[in-house]
Amino acid sequence: MRYRLVIFDWDGTLMDSAARIVSCMQAAAREAGWGELDEAAVREIIGLGLPEAIARLCPGIDAERAEVLRSRYAFHFVQGDTTPMRFFPGVEAGLARLREPAARRLAVATGKSRKGLDRVFRESDSGRWFHASRTADETRSKPHPQMLEELLAELDVDVGEAVMIGDTEYDLEMARALGMDRVAVTWGVHATERLAASRPVYTADNVAALFDWLER
């Protein structure tokens, strides 16, 4: 077994949700009176906690308008937007294979809120796949490594026995700060060249290759 603990980012790594995030953030910014947000700029902040994402997208925004934007984003993501969100093909089967050795643990480290992650767990019936999870609103946002430190402590796993898998620089730099192995996936939001700067131990170009590598 290559790793006792495999930690996944969610959006852009397991679930194809970037289009929904972009659409909701753009609608929220318009309704908050900020104006139109560029699609590329929104894709850039996927993976961060929502307050950090808003601050980066809207420099100088005041607290009142930021709260309006946050609440409108939450509304659109839950109720107002119907852009489909699905697991990338092969993810569900791959996770089922990874769970086979009883000693291996699976976890999620995400920029989502706890409410948002629990909702998607319920809607996709996927919460049962994971032994632990951390969200940006219950600890520090990526790229700070606190959520990884907490997962290691909760599951009693040494950093050398764990790996972080993600599609953004934020995921990989979070792991790099701890000296944790990290794997980049190229089907998400950050370019391969940008991911390479974080020195991943492996870069997966498709879902099948990722799970094959993890199981070697």
**pTM (2 d.p.):** 0.91
- CATH: 1.10.287, 1.10.150, 3.30.110, 3.90.1420. Which one for 18-80? 1.10.150
Q: Domain-by-domain residue ranges, the chain?
A: 5-15+86-215, 18-80
62 catalytic? Reply is no
Choose, from 9, 16, 171, 181, the residue flagged as catalytic.
9
- The answer to whether residue 99 scores a pLDDT higher than 70 is yes
What is the C-alpha to C-alpha distance for residues 159 and 140, in angstroms, rounded to an integer?
18
| Averaged pLDDT of the chain | 94
125 catalytic? Reply is no
pLDDT value for 96: 92
Choose, from 11, 16, 167, 181, the residue flagged as catalytic.
11
CATH of domain 5-15+86-215: 3.40.50.1000
Percent of the chain with pLDDT over 70: 99
What is the C-alpha to C-alpha distance for residues 197 and 114, in angstroms, rounded to an integer?
30
pLDDT value for 81: 65
Rounded to 10 degrees, the C-alpha dihedral 198/150/152/3 comes to -40
Give tens-digit pLDDT for 137-188. Answer: 999 999 999 999 999 999 999 999 999 999 999 999 999 999 999 999 999 9
Give tens-digit pLDDT for 54-88. Answer: 999 999 999 999 999 999 998 898 876 677 789 99
